[in-house]
Amino acid sequence: VTKDQPNTSGNSVGAHYDKITAAWIYLLGEDLHYGDFENPQTPLAAATARLTERMAAAGQLRPGLDVLDVGCGIGTPAMTVARRWGCRVTGISISDVGIDIARQRASKSDVADLVRFQHGDAMNNGLPDHSFDRVWVMESSHLMKDKPALFAECARVLRPGGILVLCDIIAHADLTIADTMRFARDFLLLDQVFGRARMVTLDEYSRLGGLNGLRVIQREDISRQVRPTFAGWRTNAGLHRQAVEALLGREATDRFVESTSVLERLWDLNKLGYGILAAEKRSA
C-alpha cells in the first residue's frame, strides 16, 4: 500500500467532483477516464472509448445483464454499456452534480429505458444482495480509502457467477520514505487537482479480488497504453483554456496543466501506472 495519506470522507470527494465536473468535460471529455491508446496519435475520445471496450471484454458483457456502475461520472460508460452491449445499468456516484448531468443526458438518449442513476457511496451502497450480474468500477476506486469495504460491497451485490471488473491508477510499488519526501509536492498537487486519492498496487487489488467469495480471472498492467492520456488532457486545456478558467479559476487551471507533467514524470519513473482487474464470484 502506498501514498496512504490521511483520507477525506466520501463526502469531500463528492464535493470535489461537484466542483470540477463541468470543467472535466472540457479537459477529459465526456468519458471521465484515461484513454487506452493504440498509438500516441489516437484521438483522446477514441482512446477513452477503447478503455471502455477493454473493460467490457474483461467483464464478459453480453445483452440482458444487470450491471452496477460504481462511480459513474456523468454516465458515459453506463450509456455505452447499455447501447453497445444491451445491458441494464444502474450508475451510482457520490457526486450529485455528476448524477444530475448523467440523468439529463440519459433522458435525451436512445438508452433512457436501460440506464438509471442515483446517489450512492460505493463503500456502503445500500443496494440489495445478489442484485447484479456485473459490477463495473471504472477509475473511481483510487478515490476510496476503504478498498476492502468497496470490494466487500461489490461482492455482496453480485449474483453467484457474476463478475467484478475494475480499472484504475495503480502504484507500482510501495513508496519508500525517501520517495514520500521526494514526491511530496507532486502528490499534494495531484490531491488538489484530482481529489484526495489512495493508490495501491495491482497486487493489492488482486488480493482484494480474491476475498469475499471472489476469484481473480484476469489482471493486466496497461500503464504504457494509457501514457498518452496526459498529452491529450494538456491539449484540451490549451483548446478550452477560457471556458475552464471561467469554471475553475486561473490557479486551478494552471495546476491541472502542471499535473499532466507530474503524472508523466511519475509514470516514467515507474511510480504510478494503470491496471485492470476482473474477478468472478463463486457460483452457489
Q: How far apart are CB 48 and ligand SAM at their closest, in Å?
A: 8
Question: Residue 143 or 278: which CB sits closer to ligand SAM?
Answer: 143
Assess 123 for contact with ligand SAM (CB under 6 A): yes
Q: How far apart are CB 183 and ligand SAM at their closest, in Å?
A: 21
- Binder of ligand SAM out of 20, 72, 170, 214 (CB under 6 A): 72
Q: Angle at which helices 10-27 and 241-248 pack, to 10 degrees?
A: 160
Neighbour count for residue 249 (Cβ, 10 Å): 12
Buried b (16+ CB within 10 A) or exposed e, 66-100: bbbbbbbbbbbbbbbbbeebebbbbbbbbbebbbe
Neighbour count for residue 150 (Cβ, 10 Å): 25
Q: How far apart are CB 71 and ligand SAM at their closest, in Å?
A: 3
Assess 138 for contact with ligand SAM (CB under 6 A): yes
Q: Which of 202, 200, 197, 226 is nearest to 275 (CA)?
A: 202
Q: Which of 262, 239, 121 is nearest to 193 (CA)?
A: 262
Q: How far apart are CB 255 and ligand SAM at their closest, in Å?
A: 17
Question: Which span (25-33, 176-184, 208-216, 255-263) binds ligand SAM, by CB under 6 A?
Answer: 25-33
- Binder of ligand SAM out of 29, 35, 59, 77 (CB under 6 A): 77
Assess 94 for contact with ligand SAM (CB under 6 A): yes
Q: How far apart are CB 54 and ligand SAM at their closest, in Å?
A: 12
Q: Which of residues 166-185 bind ligand SAM (CB under 6 A)?
A: none
- Binder of ligand SAM out of 144, 163, 237, 263 (CB under 6 A): 144
Question: Residue 99 or 179: which CB sits closer to ligand SAM?
Answer: 99
Assess 232 for contact with ligand SAM (CB under 6 A): no
- Binder of ligand SAM out of 2, 3, 17, 278 (CB under 6 A): 17
Neighbour count for residue 157 (Cβ, 10 Å): 22
Residues 6+ positions from 206 with CB-CB distance below 8 Å = 216, 219, 277
Assess 10 for contact with ligand SAM (CB under 6 A): yes
Between CA 99 and CA 103, with CA 101 as vertex, the angle to 5 degrees is 65
The conformation of residue 121, written as its DSSP 8-state character, comes to B
Residues 6+ positions from 59 with CB-CB distance below 8 Å = 134, 136, 163, 165, 278
Assess 275 for contact with ligand SAM (CB under 6 A): no
Assess 143 for contact with ligand SAM (CB under 6 A): yes
Question: Residue 149 or 180: which CB sits closer to ligand SAM?
Answer: 149
Q: Which of 198, 221, 262, 254 is nearest to 3 (CA)?
A: 198
Residues of this chain that bind ligand SAM (CB under 6 A): 10, 13-14, 17, 31-33, 71-73, 76-77, 92-95, 98, 121-123, 138-140, 143-144
